[in-house]
Amino acid sequence: MALLVGRWALAQSPTPLVGGNPIIRTKYTADPAALVQGGTVYLYTGHDEAPNNQERYVMHEWLCFSSTDMVHWTEHPIPLKVSDFAWAKDDAWASQVIERNGKYYWYAAVTHGTIHGKAIGVAVADNPTGPYRDARGSALITSDMTASKISWDDIDPTVIVDAQGQAYLYWGNQSCHYAKLKANMTELDGPIETVSGLPQFTEAPWVHTHNGWYYLSYATEFPEKTAYAMSRSPTGPWQYKGILNELAGNSNTNHQAIIDFKGRSYFIYHNGGMDEHGGSFRRSVCIDYLNYNRDGTIKRVQMTTEGVQPAK
């Protein structure tokens, strides 16, 4: 059964608000990813469950919401948990869902149960809201597949399929990796490469296309801002274009998704601003407009309390 949140929840508060940021007020949500399917946007988030007195990530499951106007959001039953990956230990970190040939593939960062470090799994479903099941029975990416001094470098997957039907997986922390995926979307199809041209890359890559350009946005520095680079190809070369979004209030991370929907572009991110307990480990998803310049570069995002208007 779906539960209407967003405006409905706000209307129950002592001081009624209409829409606005954060968009979900019933629980803490982080690391947004969004998928447009016809007239509906599906929003996938992590779930920050840290008690108010604990400053650490407590994340065991992912959440799914949908909207037809970017303002009224409906929550769906929990579509995926860490425990759905039998080989994983914990930590439902950032993820992304994409559609291919009528199947929905959910790429998710977790902590591996037996191979030291973070790992990326892939789950599959027949519809965007799931339920999702482990598509491989093993991790797609493990920490021993990449050279790094840190154990949390294999996180934050983002996936695109280019105009020729080639799928690419990008991920990383400190270094941005990428690899081709086979058409089955569950196996690598070539070596793991490193993306160059992304100064001060921290994490959270998100690759999207718009008017013939590829964009790779990412979290930069720490605490994190969002920066971006552009290319005519999913494999680069990438041209760095600067800061896209400033520090997001009260959160040391800044994790974005970018979509076009019903004639407008949207920047979806998180901050730590929902209530007096909000912060880096109790984050909340927000949405503001994204605006392009004529040459394809992107105007700096203006984070707002009011958020966006209903999309028509």
Q: Could you give the residue numbers annotated as active site?
A: 31, 203
Rounded to 5°, angle at Cα 109 from 73 and 50: 65
Strands (E) located in 150-248 = 158-161, 167-173, 175-181, 193-194, 201-210, 213-220, 225-231, 239-245
For position 154 contacting ligand FUB by CB under 6 A, the verdict is no
Minimum Å gap between C-beta 13 and ligand FUB is: 26
Q: Which CB sits closer to ligand FUB, 23 or 71?
A: 23
Place of tokens 């270094």: 175
Residue number with CB closer to ligand FUB (66 or 226): 226
DSSP state of 273: -
CA distance 304 to 300: 13
| CB nearer ligand FUB, residue 74 or residue 96 | 96
For ligand FUB, give the closer residue by CB, 19 or 79: 79
31 lines the binding site for ligand FUB (CB under 6 A): yes
Please tell me whether residue 226 binds ligand FUB under the rule CB under 6 A.
Answer: no
Cα→Cα distances 180→40, 169, 234, Å: 28, 6, 10
Nearer of residues 74 and 256 to ligand FUB, judged by Cβ: 256
Number of residues that bind ligand FUB (CB under 6 A): 13
* Smaller CB separation from ligand FUB, 30 or 230: 30
Taken in order 80, 228, 240, 223, is the CA torsion positive or negative? negative
Shortest distance, CB of residue 93 to ligand FUB, whole angstroms?
Answer: 4
- Written as six digits, the tokens of 29 are 């949500």
Q: Is 112 a binder of ligand FUB (CB under 6 A)?
A: no
Site string for ligand FUB, 169-208 (x = CB under 6 A): ----------------------------------xx----
Question: What's the full length of the chain, in residues?
Answer: 312
CB of 7 to ligand FUB, least distance (A): 26
CB of 31 to ligand FUB, least distance (A): 5
Q: How many CB atoms are located within 10 Å of the residue 76 CB?
A: 18
**Interface with ligand FUB (CB under 6 A), residue from 41, 94, 120, 227:** 94
Of residues 230-289, those binding ligand FUB (CB under 6 A): 253, 255
Question: Cβ of 261: how many Cβ atoms within 10 Å?
Answer: 18
The least CB distance from residue 216 to ligand FUB, in Å, is: 15
Contacts of 82 (CB under 8 A, 6+ apart): 60, 61, 88, 89, 90, 91, 92, 110
**CA nearest neighbour of 106 among 117, 116, 92:** 92
Residue ranges that bind ligand FUB, judged by CB under 6 A: 30-31, 46, 57, 93-94, 109, 155-156, 203-204, 253, 255
